[in-house]
Amino acid sequence: MFKRSPLSLGSAALCTSLLVSGCANHMSQRSEHEERVERKLLEHTLQIDVGEPKTLELPQRRIRINEHKSFEVTEFEVTRHYDRYTPYQPWREIYEIPLGAVAVVAGVGANVVNVFTLGNLPDSVTHDWISYGLAGLNPFMNAPSHGRAEQNLAGIDEVQQDKRIEKSTLPWNERPVSIKAGASTHELSTDRNGVLRLNLLDSPFAEQDLRHITRLYISAEDEQDNAHASESLPISRNLRGKLLEAHDLIYDDLEDDEVSQWVHRVKRLAELGLDEQASDLEQSLLELTRNDPQLQDELIKSLARDAGRLVAPTAADD
């Protein structure tokens, strides 16, 4: 029996592959331009401002925390080059071959006319018609088509345009802050402006005996890059002596006391130099008596007479 040689089989397979797949019609390359910015973090630090005076004389303090960042900013102009081609589809040869013949004839005619017009006809007539026609006549290649064109990334060019250092200062907003008081460590948070509102008469410090705590240790840390800062805030001996008494004046039960005891609490807080706490207690007492106008009137008169404090009554609920 006759056997085909490996060379004959390979040639047949190659011809079949060409007939099925054809050749892609390569078109003009396309480019895209864009700008790219690289930001490299050079330095990240935190700063804690404990305010003035450096020693805590009142139970409340606004502590401001900022973060400072330094970046190396590099700007690039990026150009992406794409190879474009029209993929081969055999069934399109049904109409492309006759159209290609017409295009070749038209292109030849246009070149003849171009001779008499001294080369004034555009290349899209004299050159492109012939190119389109030859591609259409080729049974293994489709005519170029922008509508069917596909593309592959051919290369990327980057050109550095600028390089500079940028610095920023932003509030450490809504981030955790650790306050160490003696053996206890409390976790608080800054507000949206990077301010920590510290009050030793509020929770969690209100539940702790601070008479022997001479200093608070404040620390903040960014876990992403380990940037951190720490400061200490001394507590004055005078303030430590007031805290326990002030705590009892503020938090002991109010409802079982007489009006005179209420007034004594407010007056005593003011005498201790805790005017903010005295005003807060006044408002709490006014809210407590708002539905009893007679009791509230007695409270207001007693505050004015015995404590020298003038307050306005609150409206009762309907």
For 238-287, how does the pLDDT look when each residue is reduced to its tens digit (9 = 90+)? Answer: 999 899 889 888 888 877 778 888 889 989 999 999 899 999 888 888 88
Q: Please enumerate in sequence order all residues whose Cβ is within 8 A of that of 9, keeping only pairs 6 or more positions apart, or say none.
A: none
| Residue 125: predicted pLDDT | 66
Percent of the chain with pLDDT over 70: 87
| Residue 142: predicted pLDDT | 75
Question: What does residue 29 show for φ and ψ, rounded to 5 degrees?
Answer: -70, 145
More confident residue, 18 or 67: 67
- Distance (Å, rounded) from C-alpha 65 to C-alpha 189? 11
| Residues across the chain | 318
- Distance (Å, rounded) from C-alpha 77 to C-alpha 86? 29
- Average pLDDT of the residues in 57-66: 95
Domain borders along the chain are 22-37+78-156, 252-318
Half-sphere exposure of 268 (CA within 13 A, CB side): 15
Q: Which one-letter DSSP state was computed for residue 207? A: G
Query: What is the average pLDDT value for the chain, to the nearest integer?
Result: 83
- Distance (Å, rounded) from C-alpha 257 to C-alpha 255? 6
For 70-97, how does the pLDDT look when each residue is reduced to its tens digit (9 = 90+)? Answer: 999 999 999 999 988 888 777 777 776 7
Question: What does residue 219 show for φ and ψ, rounded to 5 degrees?
Answer: -145, 145
For 97-137, how does the pLDDT look when each residue is reduced to its tens digit (9 = 90+)? Answer: 787 777 777 777 778 777 777 677 777 666 777 777 777 77
| Residue 316: predicted pLDDT | 62
| Residue 51: predicted pLDDT | 92
Residue 179's pLDDT band (cuts 50, 70, 90): very high
* Chain CA centroid to CA 296, Å: 51
For 131-151, how does the pLDDT look when each residue is reduced to its tens digit (9 = 90+)? Answer: 777 777 777 777 777 778 888
Residue 295 has pLDDT above 60, yes or no: yes
DSSP 39-106: EEEEEEEEEEE--SSSSB-SSEEEEEEEEEEEEEEEEEEEEEEEEEEE---GGGHHHHHHHHHHHHHH
Instruction: Report how far apart the first and last C-alpha atoms of the chain are (Å, whole number).
Output: 114
Comparing C-alpha atoms, which of 78, 90, 128, 87 is closest to residue 106? 128
- Distance (Å, rounded) from C-alpha 67 to C-alpha 221? 10
Instruction: Output the six-digit token pair for 172.
Output: 């450490």
- Distance (Å, rounded) from C-alpha 25 to C-alpha 39? 42
